[in-house]
Amino acid sequence: MTFWFLLPVVAGLSLMLTGGLRHYALARSLIDIPNARSSHSVPTPRGGGVAIVLSFLLVLPLLPVLGLVDWELVKALLGTGAGIALLGFLDDHGHIAARWRLLGHFAGAGWALFWLGGLPPLMIFGHSLELGWFGHGVAAVYLVWLLNLYNFMDGIDGLASVEAICVCVGGGLLFALLGLEESHHSEGIWVLLLLVCAVAGFLFWNFPPAQIFMGDAGSGFLGVALGILSLQAAWVAPQLLWSWVILLGVFIVDATFTLLRRLLRGDKVYEAHRSHAYQYASRRFGRHLPVTLVVGAINLFWLLPIALWVGGGGVDGLLGVVIAYSPLLLLAVKFHAGELESKV
């Protein structure tokens, strides 16, 4: 009963903190002013994602006290999540050179992997593959890429919040599918529920048309937190890593396809742009809401069933990723991901 009482507390705390942060941003002139590289047209306060971070991390340590979660997972999320959020907060208020941000990102990934035990064995076509120290390096790159792509994909109202909620719901259903919801091995499910509530409180203010933006602190935190939870799930059952990669498919495909296309063209990839597929789509429809809702629908009605199929052992994980990503790649091409705007 105590845990279920925490859920509305987290949601309410996030809701109130976001409102307070909006007033703070307005008072300090922390406003995103629309420019040629923006996907919005109205000056809007930023930095509201701090509410997600605070409401989630303040309550998280209660879970091991209640015997629901091991301290190792909490330490991974607390240390890495707080560090990444602080780095993003400082960048929101000024500017931190890209090399120092990247160094901080890898330091945060290293902290999380220390407590998680590194990369779990990969299940590929029925064979368990141990990658050793190379695997730990792959896991660090994975966490840092999720962190950054989540920041790249937080460009229109409600998108990053809806993505996080859908992925967390999917992750919880995977535990239920395996019959682990009442097991000690299902500790991630309690964390997922808390994160859903923290994001939901913020989404009240961020739903199109947004009254406040998430900012780097919130988007980076969500990206790395979801990455940590995906690795924790894979330690429970190796095929779940593939399921999580499928659940995150919309963000992974759009961000990775766009980045590769810009790299091949010789663009400075660290410069702001608006050439992601979701940004072209929002301009085509003239509003953010249809794109955000369609992404939610893709998550729930396409990616989630395939993730559950993989999680239940119905299909190999790598093959499931190929099946799930194929139409997403077609959509990325259709909506000109990575193309120069002048050519579209």
Q: Which two tokens stand for residue 30?
A: 């922390």
Q: Quote the DSSP letter at residue 5.
A: H
CA angle 241, 167, 210 (to 5 degrees): 145
For residue 226, give the nearest of 204, 243, 201 by alpha carbon.
Answer: 243
Contacts of 57 (CB under 8 A, 6+ apart): 77, 78, 81, 82
Pick out the residues of the known binding site for Mg(2+).
Answer: 151, 216
Q: Which helix (H) or strand (E) holds 276?
A: none
Q: CA separation (Å) from 168 to 114, 244, 261, 332?
A: 23, 9, 29, 24
- If one counts every other C-beta atom within 10 angstroms of the C-beta of residue 45, the result is 23
Report which of 187, 168, 68 is spatially closest to residue 116, judged by C-alpha positions: 187
Exposure class string for 202-218: b at 16+ Cβ within 10 A, else e? bbebbbbebebbbbbbb
What dihedral angle (degrees, nearest 10) is formed by the CA atoms of 250, 324, 299, 213?
A: -10
Q: Is 24 exposed, middle or buried (0-12, 13-18, 19+ CB in 10 A)?
A: middle
Question: Among 36, 45, 312, 288, which residue's Cα sits nearest to residue 159?
Answer: 288
Residues forming the annotated binding site? 151, 216
Report residue 287 as tokens: 């509003």
Q: What DSSP string describes 195-234?
A: HHHHHHHHHHHHSSSPSS--HHHHHHHHHHHHHHHHHHHH
What is the Cα 164 distance to its own chain's centre? 6
| Token code pair at residue 15 | 């809701």
